[in-house]
A = this chain, B = another copy of it.
Amino acid sequence: MSRGWEAIRADVLRRIQAREWGPGAAIPTEEALCREFGCARATVGRALRDLAATGVLERRRKAGTRVALQPVRRATLEIPVIRQEVEGRGQTYAYRLLADVMEQPPLPVLLRLRLPAGVALRHLTCLHSAGGQPFVYEDRWLNPAVPGGQQPDFAAHGANEWLVANMPYDAGDIAFSAAGAGADDAAAFGIDPGTPLFIVERTTWTADTAITCVRLAYMPGYRLRMTL
């Protein structure tokens, strides 16, 4: 065994996987473990905290540390910027703005952004392509009332890239789903309406102000991969 808190983490994980400490069972206290490993309590604590963060252990004050009854599989998804995703595949990226108008959004968008009825938002649609083929069709509603004032035109660069570079980010949510291609999607990709598409919907907030609400339709057959 090498050394350090990572070694302790590895050893604890090994014992859990070997069922030495079964699911739901309490493991020794930090004090007992640091006596066993011959290190400071902080070092054991670091290892156990890390295992708790990945869902392997559950810790509670006074109650002690126990093996998670139901090892939650947590996966971290790195949400890609489309340009980088395309270029990471070795394909050439291209971006084309299809429309940029002010209009009243449909009700679902208003609800998601928690805005009153009647307001007009900036409505952008654009197409990201990879190696000449349509890759993602983007349909975005942008709140013009966001701080920072001046909003650029997005003819050259994608709105997302402008946002990540210029807007402080607070919170948001993402949803994945499948949907049949609508008329717009079908036109953008040159496919039949109803073709199953992978859909990503994102809403972004900064301090109670809705920034943007975007729907990304990926090309047919797209797979989003994550590693555990």
Contacts and interface: CB of A to CB of B under 8 A. Distances in A.
Interface of A: 16-19, 23, 55, 70-79, 81, 84, 164-165, 168-180, 194-199, 206, 218, 221-228
Given A74-B79, A79-B74, A173-B226, A178 B194 contact: no
Given A74-B77, A77-B77, A179 B164 contact: no
Given A79-B73, A168-B18, A198 B176 contact: yes
Contact of A178 (B165, B197, B228): B197
16 contacts: A19-B168, A55-B78, A73-B164, A75-B76, A76-B76, A76-B77, A171-B227, A173-B227, A174-B227, A175-B223, A175-B225, A176-B224, A178-B196, A178-B198, A180-B195, A196-B196
A108 to B, nearest CB: 12
Given A76-B77, A198-B177, A228 B172 contact: yes
A178 B175 contact: no
B228 A174 contact: yes
A227 to B, nearest CB: 5
Given A75-B76, A173-B227, 9 more contacts: A17-B169, A72-B78, A72-B79, A75-B77, A171-B228, A175-B223, A176-B226, A177-B221, A180-B196
Contacts of A75: 76-77, 79, 174
Contacts of A169: 17, 71, 73
A168 B199 CA distance: 33
Contacts of A23: 165
A198 B179 CA distance: 8
Given A71-B164, A197-B196, A177 B228 contact: no
A174 B226 contact: yes
A129 B81 CA distance: 36
Contact of A223 (B84, B168, B177): B177
Contacts of A70: 81, 84, 164
